[in-house]
Amino acid sequence: MLISVLQVVTWIVKTVCYKVEAILAAMFLSGLCGGVLMVVPIYVSEICQDSIRGRMTAGTMIFYYIGMLVSYLMGGYLKYDIMNYVCLSMTVLGVVLVSFLKESPIHLIRKGHENETARAIAFYRGTSINSKLVKEELQVLRRALNPDLCDITPEEEKLKPDLKENPKVSWWQFLKKSRSTRRALFMIVVLNTMAIFQGLIVAQVYAQPLFAEAVPSMSSTICSVIFTLVTITSGFVGVFLVDWAGRRLLMIYASFCTGVCCVILGTQIQLHWGPHWVTAMFMCLFSLTNKCGAGTVPQVLIAEIFLPEIKSVASMIVYECSFVCAFIVLFIFNPLVATIGLGPVFYFFAVACFLSAIFSIFFLPETKGLTVDVIQSLFVKRTVRRRYMVDTETIF
């Protein structure tokens, strides 16, 4: 809500002020507000059932690309003042819509507000606060925050009030104590880094000059619009596949196919063995396979593999690493093209794609439809996980 209000302020400044300093300040503030995009998948994952968590989380990025396409079209066909008024209207509408939402149930239960948590669950499930579904999900949230409550009935829980709360520790202490969290953080940082180095962000930022060099016989503007439409369409495909095929298989096969597309693109741009439309076609295939795999799976994993105690900090670490990697890729792209040519650059992207597939085979567990505590157990070493399962069966 706060970020939405700040976005309204930035567009008001852009609309009514014409001084360069004011516009730059508004752009800076708008960029800071844009960071809320990273919060949206996490929020969506916290309010959704496990059965649809993957599709809903992946779907958030589709609307991001739709927004990009709308901004491209408005920038090309609307006057500056009119575009500002349209964007201001959108941000005001966003504030109104966000005001109807409730806080994440996980956030509320962490604060100890169980009544508000029950109301939030009832709101997002479309049921009454006293329904069985609300009580069951409330119990699941308690167990996610306190593993000692596993397999304890509500009646037994009332008889053991000392089990209701764990002593609070800092995120650093929690990270040092939890081996599964460290392994999960390592896995997602590496996977997300390799996903960025697959090169889709380069194609998005440098779409027009990239198509102008790779497909000189076609309009670079038309190619860019087609490329964005393919990215949006592939996002819908990824939303379907992420829960149908699973995260692990989708990441493996999509990364491998993206690597093949990069190799073909590199040879085509370097050797010109086919007509120009072949380059455009494989650029779109590159976007399709990348968005289905590396452009979707890491975003879903970030939102679902961390426990509530560490999720906000861990997600921040992953996204900060993502921003650094994106900056590096964009910074070295033009010097690399000037040094070795555009074609060989795609060979580097292909290496990142194949490494992503190999890494996923050995280190990425399947998380489809699993609760966060079960997902965390998958990151424990096999011998420890087997001993943990035996101990759990013995106790309960």
Q: Per residue in 241-258, pLDDT tens? A: 888 888 999 999 999 999
d(CA 47, CA 82): 36
Check if the beta carbon of residue 247 is closer than 8 Å to that of residue 54.
yes
d(CA 55, CA 260): 26
127-158 tens-digit pLDDT: 888 888 888 888 878 777 765 544 444 444 44
pLDDT at 390: 39
CA-closest candidate to residue 230, choices 285, 172, 168 = 285
pLDDT at 28: 85
d(CA 280, CA 295): 20
Mean of all residue pLDDT scores within the chain: 81
| Burial zone of 164 (CB within 10 Å; 0-12 exposed, 13-18 middle, 19+ buried) | middle
Chain-centroid distance of CA 117 in Å reads 25
Residue with the bigger pLDDT between 311 and 217: it is 311
**pTM score above 0.85:** no
d(CA 91, CA 172): 36
Q: Residue 394: which pLDDT band, with cuts at 50, 70 and 90?
A: very low
Q: Does the pLDDT of residue 227 top 50, yes or no?
A: yes
pLDDT at 376: 85
Q: Residue 387: which pLDDT band, with cuts at 50, 70 and 90?
A: very low
Amino acid at 94: G
Highest mean pLDDT (candidates 56-65, 152-161, 309-318): 309-318
d(CA 54, CA 281): 29
pLDDT at 289: 92
Cα–Cα distance list, 32 to 6, 35, 171, 231, 316 (Å): 10, 6, 24, 25, 14
pLDDT at 147: 56
pLDDT at 58: 77
Highest mean pLDDT (candidates 109-113, 187-191, 339-343): 187-191
pLDDT at 296: 87
189-206 tens-digit pLDDT: 999 999 999 988 888 777
Contacts of 27 (CB under 8 A, 6+ apart): 10, 14
Fold of 171-378: Growth Hormone; Chain: A; (1.20.1250)
Report domain extents, the chain.
Answer: 2-98, 105-160, 171-378
Q: Residue 221: which pLDDT band, with cuts at 50, 70 and 90?
A: low
- Return phi, psi of residue 54, to 5°: -65, -50
pLDDT at 156: 47
